[in-house]
Chain A
Amino acid sequence: MAFVSLKHVEKVYPSTDGKHRHGEKKSNLKVTKEGVLAVEDFNLEIKDREFIVLVGPSGCGKSTTLRMVAGLEEITRGEIYIDDRLVNDVPPKDRDIAMVFQSYALYPHMTVRGNMEFPLKLHKVPKDEIKKRVEQAASILGITEYLDRKPKALSGGQRQRVAIGRAIVREPKVLLMDEPLSNLDAKLRNQMRAEIIKLRQRIDTTFIYVTHDQTEAMTLGDRIVIMKDGVIQQIGTPQEVFDHPKNQFVAGFIGVPQMNFYDARLLRAADGSYKVELQGTYIVPSEEKQEALRKNDAEAQDIVLGVRPEHIALLGDGKDMLHGTVEVAEMMGSAVHLHVNACGRESIIIAQTMSFEGKLPGSFAIGSPISFTFGGNVIHMFSKDGNNLEA
């Protein structure tokens, strides 16, 4: 239960200090005199009980940001507040936070019970209260029967639960999680994801959750913070970032399969209406998009046109269709993912296996020609340097 606010937070790793990390690619991070700028001007106001997800590709500074909130990493510049208290110089143990590590970081020499009791003992919680809280957390997480085992006698999923248990018995103000599910197999991951959603309804805590998996981010987060190369790209609800990506990076990062991008040209008529030309066909953006473009006074220019695979229709009226050839058809059950070579690029199209007539719309044999189209309401227009022209 707490507000967390990060104001102009930055992290610089001195370059001399990171010799052992030379193998890693950090060419995209800004390098200053002081060293490598791993997190740059990070601003975020987290509301009480909000579930915030930090997401981005590897090395974008998610963990670094989380560890600065935890107090495990020094803050180079800027301020972090937890409940109006400036915590920059507060050691981790006094921040009233708990953290779940990717490696679980259980204490190997203690039993599960010992692990969960440990933080409470350190905080001098009375004995019967400790017992009550540990048993309650164990039953929420379904690990009661393992309480007397050592961590090495547990499976990955069980260890994960213990790690979460150890964090929630504290009833911390803020619960930090750094890729807690990434060591689990796909099935268990889905299951644990659902359990985290359930867990969050039971406990009143502010969550900050780090992941590189956009599905986790979309399903768990109240708001998502998308980062790249140490810089925040966009902050918004899952729906917002999906529908209105601020730039091409966000558009490509959120949503599976990835959004298709085509080189196109934005045309502006004398009456101020816009049209997009793609391979000789014209797409007229919806009225809402026209309005946004007019408001931004977008000029006629070469653009990158983005369309999500699920928004492409195979059934058109024949005129103004785009043409391509099927290269791969991936049968997913309820839909087929078609990899189509069109407009000089590979695009992905999702075709429902059931059309309205109750049969497959056409044949998807490899090499067969295919025609498709999409409406003016589903397109995203990005300038050549990646910014959304509507934003």
Chain B
Amino acid sequence: MTRESQSYNRLWSIVMTIISVLYMYPIFMVLINSLKQESAISTGTAFELPTEETFAGLANYENAISTQGFLSSLFFTTFITVTSVIAILLFCSMFAWYITRVNTKVTRALYLLCAFSMVVPFQMVMFTLSSMADSLNLNTPWVLWIIYLGFGAGLAVFMFCGFMRSVPIDIEEASMIDGCNPLQTYFHIVVPLLRPTMVSVAILEAMWIWNDYLLPTLILDINKYRTISMLIQFFRGSYGRVEMGPMMACIMLAILPIIIIYLIGQKYIIKGVVAGAVKG
């Protein structure tokens, strides 16, 4: 390595470190405050590390978990996320496979439509959506995945198509000659090939659905069903004052699963993105 590229690398690391500190800082703030007593948060000491007097241990966490409804919120959020992600992976990968392999005017139009749906801001459709969800009885957590499928399809189809185009069709043709019907080709050949892309899509969609606040608030009845993001908001509204400690703890608990999923899946994300980019 030459000296120039070495100092270049060093400069680069410094810049990246600063950026990552900036990104980590809010999360770090939430973390330290979730470990403090209530009084220490609301005053000007919010930016300080907990001292001996203000350290609350896991009291806030206990408080949050024992708050009425936390466990049910956790369940709803998990259920909605898992069902939506499974639906998105299954339907979008099948759909993307079909429209990349069958090249007609209709499939090209469908692809454009999907790509276009990514451009439409959610805010534009949210009120019509909520009244439509009411009239179609989609306003329960059990079927919310249908709505998420619609909103997640754009990105998922886009990513699956991008990867599918880079896969030579010979492999699928070979499987057809070897004795597969289309469904067998899909499950035995296409799904394994798409696995890295599926992991990337799953992580991206899971992060979004898990953290989503606006859509469930608009569609679900907050008195019956609360997702975690709704619950966090609920902490603020239900009492006269905001209970910061349990709220911070709740936020930490809410982002934990996503961080774990991301850490497990990140090597696939990189693989998936590169596989699509280099060959496509």
Please give the residue numbers on chain A whose beta carbons come within 8 Å of chain B beta carbons, in ascending order.
Answer: 17, 70-72, 91-93, 97-99, 101-103, 105-109, 118-119, 122-123, 166, 170
Are A109 and B193 within 8 A (Cβ)? Answer: yes
Are A93 and B179 within 8 A (Cβ)? Answer: yes
Residues from chain A with a CB closer than 8 A to the CB of B176 are 71-72, 91-93
Binds A, one of B52-60, B167-175, B231-239, B256-264: B167-175
Known interface pairs A17-B103, A122-B184; A105-B193 also in contact (CB < 8 Å): no
Q: Which of B173-211 contact A (CB under 8 A)?
A: 173-181, 184, 188-189, 192-193, 195
Residues from chain B with a CB closer than 8 A to the CB of A91 are 176, 181
Are B168 and A103 within 8 A (Cβ)? Answer: yes
Beta-carbon nearest neighbor of A72 in chain B: B173
The 6 closest A-B pairs by CB, nearest first: A122-B179, A119-B178, A105-B170, A105-B174, A109-B192, A93-B179
Residues from chain B with a CB closer than 8 A to the CB of A119 are 178-179
State the total of A-B contacts with C-beta under 8 angstroms.
61
Are B177 and A70 within 8 A (Cβ)? Answer: yes
Choose from B173, B178, B180, B193 the contact partner of A108 (Cβ within 8 Å).
Answer: B193
Are A93 and B177 within 8 A (Cβ)? Answer: yes
Docked CA distance A96–B168 (Å):
23
- Cβ contacts A to B, 13 pairs, < 8 Å: A71-B177, A93-B177, A93-B178, A93-B180, A98-B177, A99-B174, A99-B177, A101-B173, A107-B171, A109-B195, A118-B175, A122-B184, A166-B178
Docked CA distance A108–B174 (Å):
12
Are B171 and A105 within 8 A (Cβ)? Answer: yes
Residues from chain A with a CB closer than 8 A to the CB of B195 are 109
Known interface pairs A17-B103, A72-B173, A99-B174; A105-B180 also in contact (CB < 8 Å): no
Beta-carbon nearest neighbor of B104 in chain A: A17
Docked CA distance A17–B189 (Å):
26
Residues from chain A with a CB closer than 8 A to the CB of B173 are 70, 72, 92, 99, 101, 105
Docked CA distance A108–B195 (Å):
12
B162, chain A: closest CB distance, angstroms: 17
Beta-carbon nearest neighbor of B103 in chain A: A17
Known interface pairs A103-B168, A108-B193; A93-B181 also in contact (CB < 8 Å): yes
Residues from chain B with a CB closer than 8 A to the CB of A109 are 192-193, 195
Are A97 and B180 within 8 A (Cβ)? Answer: no
B238, chain A: closest CB distance, angstroms: 51
Are B180 and A122 within 8 A (Cβ)? Answer: yes
Known interface pairs A17-B103, A108-B193, A109-B192; A103-B177 also in contact (CB < 8 Å): no
Docked CA distance A98–B177 (Å):
6
Beta-carbon nearest neighbor of A163 in chain B: B174
Are B193 and A92 within 8 A (Cβ)? Answer: no
Known interface pairs A91-B176, A166-B178; A105-B184 also in contact (CB < 8 Å): no
Choose from A17, A71, A101, A123 the contact partner of B174 (Cβ within 8 Å).
Answer: A101
Docked CA distance A174–B173 (Å):
16
Residues from chain A with a CB closer than 8 A to the CB of B181 are 91, 93
Are A122 and B177 within 8 A (Cβ)? Answer: no
CB-CB contacts of B235-265 with A at 8 A, as 1s and 0s? 0000000000000000000000000000000
Beta-carbon nearest neighbor of A178 in chain B: B170
Residues from chain B with a CB closer than 8 A to the CB of A17 are 103
Docked CA distance A93–B182 (Å):
10
Residues from chain B with a CB closer than 8 A to the CB of A166 are 174, 178
Choose from A97, A99, A107, A123 the contact partner of B189 (Cβ within 8 Å).
Answer: A107
Are A122 and B170 within 8 A (Cβ)? Answer: no
Docked CA distance A97–B173 (Å):
13
Docked CA distance A119–B188 (Å):
12
Residues from chain B with a CB closer than 8 A to the CB of A170 are 178
Docked CA distance A2–B171 (Å):
26
Choose from A97, A103, A118 the contact partner of B170 (Cβ within 8 Å).
Answer: A103
Give the most central of A93, A98, A108: most B CB within 10 Å: A93
Residues from chain A with a CB closer than 8 A to the CB of B189 are 107
Residues from chain A with a CB closer than 8 A to the CB of B175 are 107, 118
